[in-house]
Amino acid sequence: MKPIVEYLDYRSYMREFYEERKRTSAFTWREFSKLSGFASSGYLKLVCDGKTRLRKAGAECVAKAMGLTGYQAEYFCRMVEFCDAQTNEEKQAAYGEMCRLADANKVRVLGGEAYAYFSSWINPTLRELAPIMPGARPLEMARMLCPSVPAADVRYSLDQMVQMGLLKKIESAGEVSYVQTDVGINPVDNADHKAAINVAVRSMQKQFARLAADALDEFDGSERNLSGITMGLDRVAYERVAKEMAEFRKKIESIVSDVKDYDRVYRINLQMFPLTRKLEENNET
């Protein structure tokens, strides 16, 4: 089997464990359930088929039955929490623990670097800010952020981006500077881990949305541009507007690519979201 850190769906891991054992012995779902301490002979098959789920105690028993120990057993339990989480925040917390366990044991979670980058608004902001503050210390950069953050968070973010290859650290005459590299976040082909990265991206988008709201009070109107339209749309019009937004973003990216010397970091949020339910949903109730 692949290393456990290459899995994000505990059901996939359990099923592959079962199929591997079955190829080399007369292993059955009944035996698997019995080894895990379940009275129902078909319980774990129902779990793997997505018809039920594991509780915390059950996850620990299954991990033991599969011979998992140490961080691998704990990783499996966190994987169960991730898959069965009800909210984005719970998923983010569980996946963060999975990455922490892997890092502490010198192994890499597939997609972990991308997840770490997209988990906080600080990372993309510092990637733009650090190059225009040569020789600045983390505390100085921390005070430049709006809102300001602890210097320790800045130091951690910079170190992580250097490790990812997103920033290059240059030391000269006792001063430290950073320059951007052409390296981007490596795409992850594994669909399960793409889903985990999407959890982090949604979290970061929420963070930027809250910062946009705070900017209304934080900055004068001459330093910000926040506007919106409340409108009625059908699906065809929605698709047309969405296409125009995508084209607008491309135009902005073209303008930004020509900027060589900048003195501030900005964020543009392109948002279009429903404020009401569909009429047919109301008629169904």
Give domain status of residue 151, yes or no. Answer: no
Give domain status of residue 188, yes or no. Answer: no
Domain assignment of residue 37, given as a range? 4-105
Give domain status of residue 171, yes or no. Answer: no
> Measured between alpha carbons, how far is 4 from 7 in angstroms, rounded to an integer?
5
- Percent of the chain exceeding pLDDT 90 equals 68
Residue 147: cis peptide before it, omega within 30 degrees of 0: yes
What is the CATH number for 50? 1.10.260
10-residue mean pLDDT series, the chain (285 residues)? 87 94 92 94 93 93 95 94 89 87 78 82 95 95 95 94 92 93 69 76 91 94 93 96 96 92 94 88 66
Give domain status of residue 172, yes or no. Answer: no
In the chain, the number of structural domains is 1
In this predicted model, what pLDDT tens digit does every residue of 173-201 receive, in sequence order?
889 999 999 877 765 666 666 777 888 88
Give the model's pLDDT for residue 189: 61
Decide the pairing of beta strands 167-172 and 175-180: antiparallel
Give the model's pLDDT for residue 74: 95
Give domain status of residue 17, yes or no. Answer: yes
In this predicted model, what pLDDT tens digit does every residue of 54-89 receive, in sequence order?
999 999 999 999 999 999 999 999 999 999 998 888
Give domain status of residue 281, yes or no. Answer: no
Q: What is the total residue count of the chain?
A: 285
Give domain status of residue 13, yes or no. Answer: yes
Give the model's pLDDT for residue 192: 65
- Percent of the chain exceeding pLDDT 70 equals 95
> Measured between alpha carbons, how far is 6 from 276 in angstroms, rounded to an integer?
40
Give the model's pLDDT for residue 92: 85
Residues 6+ apart with CB under 8 A from 92: 119, 199, 200, 203
Give the model's pLDDT for residue 95: 87
Give domain status of residue 150, yes or no. Answer: no
Q: In this structure, are residues 55 and 80 in contact, taking their beta carbons and an 8 Å threshold?
A: no
Burial class (CB in 10 A: 0-12, 13-18, 19+), 215: middle
The pTM score is 0.74
The CB density around residue 180, as the number of other CB atoms within 10 Å, is 13
Q: In this structure, are residues 102 and 75 in contact, taking their beta carbons and an 8 Å threshold?
A: yes
